[in-house]
Amino acid sequence: ADTLRAAAAQAGLFFGVAASPGRLNATVAREFGQLTPENDMKPETIAGPNGTVQNTGNADTLVNYAQNNSMLVRGHTMVWYSQAGQLNGANQATLNTFIGNALRRWGNRVAYWDVVNEALADNNAGTRRGQWPHTLDRDANGDGDYFDATDTDYIRDSFRAAKQAVAAAGLSTKLCINDYDVEGLTVRGGARNNKAQALYDIVRTYTQGSEKLIDCVGFQSHFNDNPNSIITDDLQANIQRFADLGVEVHLSELDIDDDLSNNDIGQGQAENYRKVVRACLNVARCTGITVWGIADSESWRSSERGLLFTGGNGNYQKKAAYTAVLEEL
């Protein structure tokens, strides 16, 4: 195969990209088999008053483009402390209303939805206590977690609402939890990655009991020089243990800083892309990889030059990293 999307399809996974309507051009449909709206499905854009969905023009443009080009859509994202717009500070009932409305708005045209994004705090500090939406939670028995039957947990309740909406509407949309710095089993220096462990505990709790609330896990995979964001040799092992819970794993927002000066194993960007793609390929339930933009100049972190193309405005040149990914797939 001579495109990323075709090579990935042959290997049994999707290879996608995050984009906005202004970035839809021939390269997108040729190279990518999946589309994530980079901003246009965030509550900041589409949440109206009282859990309504509004202002869907850009999202519709992206979904229609995906449909016309046989690309999957990963909806991104519903419940998130950032870019929450009119949803910011909402109670659980309003969140649930919004979740149902967003799911029904696009139905099966959205194959996967990030229901909960970035629930965990930086620096292995557990959940984002004191910060909405975590402020909705109640620890009924004071044991310090939110996972008991009597406790209130917005993650559980949001996924419950989503599952109910999916079932009631007869949809096949899969429901994901997404976070960053959860990729490796360990972090720089070899210590255990407690943030990955916290995510694992959440996914285990809500998939191994009587309720199967979570279908997929997104490892954002913004790899850079931060101690918790590096590429570790145990990336595959971490993907595998989530997969062993029966959920699909996606590398959902991949970019790799081209200067990983402190990376424990980094040999340069193309080799790092190889390692990451290989780790996903080696796990059957790692079903998709999405790069967070097309060209370096268009990236949310353009100074890291972390993507697969240079150039811009639809005129792109393939980087060594592109060739490495294509070969690896």
CB of 300 to ligand XIL, least distance (A): 3
CB of 299 to ligand XIL, least distance (A): 8
Which C-beta is closer to ligand XIL: that of 36 or that of 263?
A: 36
The residue of the chain with the least Cβ separation from ligand XIL equals 300
- Spatial neighbors of 165 by CB under 8 A, at least 6 apart, are 99, 100, 103, 104, 171
Q: Contact at 8 Å (CB) between 128 and 190?
A: no
Give ∠ CA 90-95-97 in degrees, rounded to 5.
Answer: 125
3's CB contacts (< 8 A; 6+ apart) are 30, 31, 326
- Which residues contribute to the site for ligand XIL (CB under 6 A)? 38-39, 117, 220, 253, 300
Q: How far is the CB of 209 from ligand XIL (least distance, A)?
A: 27
253 as an active site residue: the answer is yes
**Taking the complex as a whole, how short is the minimal distance between the CB of residue 265 and ligand XIL, in angstroms?**
23
Q: Which of 31, 183, 248, 253 does the annotation list as catalytic? A: 253
Identify which of residues 59 and 326 has a Cβ nearer to ligand XIL in the complex. 59
* Least Å from the CB of residue 38 to ligand XIL: 5
Instruction: Give 132 or 300: the residue with its C-beta nearer to ligand XIL.
Output: 300
Q: What gap in Å lies between CA 96 and CA 51, rounded to an integer? A: 8
Handedness of CA 47, 49, 51, 54 (dihedral sign): negative
Q: How far is the CB of 293 from ligand XIL (least distance, A)?
A: 7
Q: Which is nearer to ligand XIL, 153 or 253 (CB)?
A: 253
Nearest CB to ligand XIL, comparing residues 65 and 300: 300
User: Is there a contact between 105 and 62 (Cβ–Cβ < 8 Å)?
Assistant: no
Give me the catalytic one of 31, 38, 118, 183.
118
Let me know if 183 is a catalytic residue: no
Indicate the DSSP class of residue 47. Answer: B
Amino acid at 235: L
How big is the CA angle at 156 (ends 250 and 205), to the nearest 5 degrees?
A: 70
Write down the H helix ranges in the chain.
4-11, 26-31, 43-46, 57-68, 92-106, 154-169, 194-208, 235-243, 269-281, 320-328
**111 versus 329: smaller Cβ distance to ligand XIL:** 111
CA distance 75 to 40: 9
Active site positions, annotated:
118, 253
